Amino acid sequence: MTLMPHRRTLSRQKTLDFLGDLAREKEPDSYSLYLTAGHSPVETENNLKDINLPFEETSSLAKIIDKSPTGAIVFGNPDGIFLLIPPFPIAQTLLIRELDTENLESILTKDHTIGLVLVRLGAYGVGVCRGENLVSSKVGTGNIHARHKKGGSSAHRFERRRDKQIEYFLTRVCQRAREHLEPHLKALDYLVYSGARETIRELQKQCDFLGKLKTTTLPPLLDIPDPRLTVLKDTVRQVWSSTLYEWHEAD
Protein backbone atom coordinates (compact mmCIF):
# COMPACT_ATOMS: atom_id res chain seq x y z
CA MET A 1 0.00 0.00 0.00
CA THR A 2 1.39 3.41 -1.00
CA LEU A 3 0.32 6.22 1.33
CA MET A 4 0.48 9.89 0.37
CA PRO A 5 1.01 12.44 3.20
CA HIS A 6 -0.89 15.71 3.59
CA ARG A 7 -0.37 18.38 6.29
CA ARG A 8 -2.79 21.04 7.55
CA THR A 9 -3.31 23.29 10.57
CA LEU A 10 -6.63 23.05 12.40
CA SER A 11 -8.21 25.56 14.76
CA ARG A 12 -9.57 24.37 18.09
CA GLN A 13 -13.09 23.92 16.70
CA LYS A 14 -11.93 22.27 13.47
CA THR A 15 -9.82 19.84 15.50
CA LEU A 16 -12.88 18.93 17.58
CA ASP A 17 -14.93 18.55 14.38
CA PHE A 18 -12.27 16.22 12.96
CA LEU A 19 -12.27 14.13 16.15
CA GLY A 20 -16.06 13.95 16.09
CA ASP A 21 -16.04 12.67 12.51
CA LEU A 22 -13.31 10.18 13.37
CA ALA A 23 -15.19 8.85 16.40
CA ARG A 24 -18.20 8.03 14.23
CA GLU A 25 -16.11 5.68 12.08
CA LYS A 26 -16.49 2.20 13.59
CA GLU A 27 -13.95 0.47 11.35
CA PRO A 28 -12.38 -2.84 12.40
CA ASP A 29 -8.58 -2.95 12.89
CA SER A 30 -8.54 0.66 14.09
CA TYR A 31 -6.27 2.03 16.81
CA SER A 32 -5.31 5.16 18.76
CA LEU A 33 -1.74 5.64 19.98
CA TYR A 34 -1.16 8.49 22.44
CA LEU A 35 2.50 9.41 22.91
CA THR A 36 3.99 11.80 25.47
CA ALA A 37 6.86 14.08 24.49
CA GLY A 38 10.46 13.28 25.37
CA HIS A 39 10.80 9.75 24.03
CA SER A 40 14.10 8.84 22.41
CA PRO A 41 13.95 8.07 18.66
CA VAL A 42 14.36 4.36 19.45
CA GLU A 43 11.47 4.45 21.94
CA THR A 44 9.27 6.28 19.42
CA GLU A 45 9.94 3.71 16.72
CA ASN A 46 9.30 0.84 19.17
CA ASN A 47 5.95 2.38 20.15
CA LEU A 48 5.03 2.73 16.48
CA LYS A 49 5.96 -0.91 15.82
CA ASP A 50 3.10 -1.88 18.16
CA ILE A 51 0.63 -0.72 15.50
CA ASN A 52 2.34 -2.67 12.70
CA LEU A 53 2.99 0.14 10.24
CA PRO A 54 5.09 -0.46 7.12
CA PHE A 55 8.73 0.60 7.66
CA GLU A 56 8.41 3.66 5.39
CA GLU A 57 5.43 5.02 7.33
CA THR A 58 7.00 4.22 10.72
CA SER A 59 10.13 6.19 9.80
CA SER A 60 8.11 9.10 8.39
CA LEU A 61 5.87 9.40 11.47
CA ALA A 62 8.78 8.99 13.90
CA LYS A 63 10.66 11.95 12.41
CA ILE A 64 7.64 14.24 12.97
CA ILE A 65 6.83 12.90 16.44
CA ASP A 66 10.40 13.28 17.71
CA LYS A 67 10.27 17.03 16.98
CA SER A 68 7.02 17.61 18.88
CA PRO A 69 7.37 19.19 22.34
CA THR A 70 3.76 18.30 23.22
CA GLY A 71 3.66 14.65 22.15
CA ALA A 72 1.47 13.18 19.44
CA ILE A 73 -1.54 11.00 18.71
CA VAL A 74 -1.68 8.46 15.89
CA PHE A 75 -5.12 7.35 14.74
CA GLY A 76 -5.35 4.56 12.19
CA ASN A 77 -7.96 2.55 10.29
CA PRO A 78 -7.91 0.54 7.05
CA ASP A 79 -8.34 3.75 4.99
CA GLY A 80 -5.37 5.70 6.32
CA ILE A 81 -3.23 7.09 9.12
CA PHE A 82 -3.75 10.38 10.98
CA LEU A 83 -0.96 11.94 13.06
CA LEU A 84 -2.07 14.86 15.22
CA ILE A 85 0.32 17.20 17.06
CA PRO A 86 -1.72 18.73 19.91
CA PRO A 87 -1.37 22.28 21.26
CA PHE A 88 -1.00 21.03 24.85
CA PRO A 89 1.05 18.15 26.30
CA ILE A 90 -0.17 14.56 26.21
CA ALA A 91 -0.10 13.17 29.77
CA GLN A 92 0.25 9.42 29.18
CA THR A 93 1.54 7.03 26.52
CA LEU A 94 -1.37 4.77 25.69
CA LEU A 95 -2.33 2.30 22.93
CA ILE A 96 -6.06 1.67 22.41
CA ARG A 97 -7.26 -0.88 19.86
CA GLU A 98 -10.05 1.36 18.53
CA LEU A 99 -10.55 4.96 17.45
CA ASP A 100 -10.60 6.63 20.87
CA THR A 101 -10.71 10.44 20.77
CA GLU A 102 -11.92 11.10 24.31
CA ASN A 103 -8.46 11.68 25.82
CA LEU A 104 -7.67 14.40 23.30
CA GLU A 105 -11.17 15.91 23.42
CA SER A 106 -10.83 16.32 27.19
CA ILE A 107 -7.68 18.40 26.62
CA LEU A 108 -9.27 20.59 23.93
CA THR A 109 -12.65 21.16 25.58
CA LYS A 110 -11.19 22.42 28.85
CA ASP A 111 -10.87 26.22 28.87
CA HIS A 112 -7.22 26.39 29.89
CA THR A 113 -5.96 29.67 31.32
CA ILE A 114 -2.88 30.75 29.37
CA GLY A 115 -0.46 33.63 29.87
CA LEU A 116 0.80 35.36 26.72
CA VAL A 117 4.04 37.34 26.39
CA LEU A 118 4.77 38.74 22.93
CA VAL A 119 7.91 40.79 22.46
CA ARG A 120 10.00 42.21 19.67
CA LEU A 121 12.39 45.14 20.08
CA GLY A 122 10.18 48.21 20.21
CA ALA A 123 6.80 46.51 20.62
CA TYR A 124 5.16 44.13 23.09
CA GLY A 125 1.87 42.52 24.01
CA VAL A 126 0.98 40.71 27.22
CA GLY A 127 -2.26 39.10 28.25
CA VAL A 128 -4.20 36.20 29.65
CA CYS A 129 -6.75 34.10 27.81
CA ARG A 130 -9.28 31.66 29.22
CA GLY A 131 -10.08 29.29 26.45
CA GLU A 132 -9.94 31.45 23.34
CA ASN A 133 -11.15 34.61 25.09
CA LEU A 134 -8.74 37.34 26.16
CA VAL A 135 -9.60 38.31 29.73
CA SER A 136 -6.68 40.70 30.22
CA SER A 137 -4.34 42.39 27.75
CA LYS A 138 -1.94 45.27 27.16
CA VAL A 139 0.07 46.24 24.09
CA GLY A 140 2.67 48.98 23.82
CA THR A 141 5.77 50.28 22.10
CA GLY A 142 9.21 51.55 23.06
CA ASN A 143 11.73 53.87 21.46
CA ILE A 144 14.77 51.85 20.38
CA HIS A 145 17.13 53.22 17.75
CA ALA A 146 18.41 51.05 14.93
CA ARG A 147 22.03 49.90 15.08
CA HIS A 148 24.75 52.44 14.18
CA LYS A 149 26.38 51.40 10.91
CA LYS A 150 29.51 53.57 11.19
CA GLY A 151 32.50 52.88 13.42
CA GLY A 152 34.44 55.09 15.83
CA SER A 153 33.86 56.37 19.35
CA SER A 154 30.49 57.88 18.44
CA ALA A 155 29.28 54.43 17.41
CA HIS A 156 30.25 53.05 20.84
CA ARG A 157 28.34 55.85 22.59
CA PHE A 158 25.37 55.17 20.33
CA GLU A 159 25.44 51.45 21.15
CA ARG A 160 25.60 52.14 24.90
CA ARG A 161 22.58 54.44 24.53
CA ARG A 162 20.78 51.76 22.52
CA ASP A 163 21.57 49.13 25.16
CA LYS A 164 20.04 51.42 27.81
CA GLN A 165 16.94 51.85 25.63
CA ILE A 166 16.59 48.08 25.32
CA GLU A 167 17.06 47.60 29.06
CA TYR A 168 14.42 50.22 29.84
CA PHE A 169 12.03 48.72 27.28
CA LEU A 170 12.38 45.18 28.66
CA THR A 171 11.89 46.49 32.21
CA ARG A 172 8.56 47.98 31.08
CA VAL A 173 7.55 44.71 29.42
CA CYS A 174 8.41 42.84 32.63
CA GLN A 175 6.27 45.24 34.67
CA ARG A 176 3.32 44.88 32.29
CA ALA A 177 3.67 41.09 32.31
CA ARG A 178 3.58 41.06 36.09
CA GLU A 179 0.56 43.38 36.23
CA HIS A 180 -1.48 41.12 33.94
CA LEU A 181 -0.23 37.64 34.85
CA GLU A 182 0.13 37.88 38.63
CA PRO A 183 -3.63 38.15 39.38
CA HIS A 184 -4.16 34.87 37.48
CA LEU A 185 -1.14 32.88 38.73
CA LYS A 186 -3.15 30.33 40.74
CA ALA A 187 -5.31 29.53 37.71
CA LEU A 188 -2.56 29.70 35.08
CA ASP A 189 -2.20 26.39 33.21
CA TYR A 190 0.37 27.42 30.60
CA LEU A 191 2.62 30.28 29.51
CA VAL A 192 3.59 31.00 25.91
CA TYR A 193 6.13 33.44 24.47
CA SER A 194 5.94 34.88 20.97
CA GLY A 195 8.14 37.23 18.97
CA ALA A 196 11.88 37.35 18.35
CA ARG A 197 13.88 34.49 19.92
CA GLU A 198 16.81 36.64 21.10
CA THR A 199 14.53 39.31 22.58
CA ILE A 200 12.54 36.63 24.42
CA ARG A 201 15.80 35.28 25.89
CA GLU A 202 16.87 38.76 27.02
CA LEU A 203 13.48 39.38 28.62
CA GLN A 204 13.59 36.07 30.50
CA LYS A 205 17.11 36.84 31.68
CA GLN A 206 16.27 40.37 32.85
CA CYS A 207 12.77 39.78 34.27
CA ASP A 208 12.93 38.03 37.66
CA PHE A 209 9.14 37.66 37.73
CA LEU A 210 9.04 35.63 34.51
CA GLY A 211 12.25 33.79 35.35
CA LYS A 212 10.78 32.46 38.59
CA LEU A 213 7.43 31.34 37.19
CA LYS A 214 6.83 27.60 37.61
CA THR A 215 4.05 27.52 35.01
CA THR A 216 4.49 25.02 32.15
CA THR A 217 5.80 26.86 29.09
CA LEU A 218 4.43 25.95 25.68
CA PRO A 219 6.57 26.04 22.51
CA PRO A 220 7.29 29.67 21.46
CA LEU A 221 5.63 31.19 18.40
CA LEU A 222 8.45 33.00 16.65
CA ASP A 223 7.04 33.96 13.26
CA ILE A 224 4.82 36.92 14.24
CA PRO A 225 4.82 40.62 13.28
CA ASP A 226 5.24 43.45 15.77
CA PRO A 227 2.75 42.79 18.59
CA ARG A 228 -0.53 44.70 18.34
CA LEU A 229 -3.93 43.81 19.76
CA THR A 230 -4.90 42.02 16.54
CA VAL A 231 -1.63 40.05 16.69
CA LEU A 232 -2.29 39.17 20.35
CA LYS A 233 -5.74 37.86 19.43
CA ASP A 234 -4.31 35.87 16.52
CA THR A 235 -1.70 34.38 18.86
CA VAL A 236 -4.52 32.98 20.99
CA ARG A 237 -5.88 31.22 17.89
CA GLN A 238 -2.42 29.83 17.08
CA VAL A 239 -1.89 28.59 20.63
CA TRP A 240 -5.07 26.51 20.38
CA SER A 241 -4.29 25.13 16.90
CA SER A 242 -3.25 21.54 16.16
CA THR A 243 -1.24 20.18 13.24
CA LEU A 244 -2.70 17.22 11.38
CA TYR A 245 -0.78 14.91 9.06
CA GLU A 246 -2.76 12.46 6.97
CA TRP A 247 -1.58 9.47 5.00
CA HIS A 248 -4.21 8.07 2.62
CA GLU A 249 -3.96 5.25 0.15
CA ALA A 250 -2.99 6.62 -3.26
CA ASP A 251 -5.39 6.13 -6.18
Average pLDDT over residues 101-128: 96
Nearest CA to 8 out of 234, 246, 247, 240 is that of: 246
| Predicted pLDDT at 33 | 96
Average pLDDT over residues 24-51: 90
Average pLDDT over residues 175-188: 96
For 137-180, write each residue's pLDDT tens digit: 999 998 776 665 555 556 667 678 888 899 999 999 999 999 99
Average pLDDT of the chain is: 89
| Predicted pLDDT at 247 | 83
Average pLDDT over residues 115-121: 96
| Predicted pLDDT at 127 | 96
Q: What pTM does this model have? A: 0.88
The domain made up of 3-110 is a member of CATH 3.30.960.10? yes
Using 50, 70 and 90 to split pLDDT, how confident is the model at 206?
A: very high
Higher per-residue pLDDT: 19 or 143? 19
Percentage of residues in the chain having pLDDT higher than 90: 71
**CATH homologous superfamily for 113-236?**
eRF1 domain 2 (3.30.420.60)
pLDDT at 106 over 90: yes
Where do the CATH 3.30.960.10 domains begin and end in the chain? 3-110
What is the radius of gyration, based on Cα positions, of the chain? 22
Where do the CATH 3.30.420.60 domains begin and end in the chain? 113-236
What is the distance between the alpha carbons of residues 22 and 100, in angstroms, rounded to a whole number? 9
Using 50, 70 and 90 to split pLDDT, how confident is the model at 1?
A: very low
| Predicted pLDDT at 2 | 47
- Positive or negative, the CA dihedral 193, 194, 200, 206 is negative
For 51-103, write each residue's pLDDT tens digit: 877 777 888 899 999 999 999 999 998 778 999 999 999 999 999 999 999 99
SS3 189: coil
Quickly count helices (H) and strands (E) in the chain: 8, 11
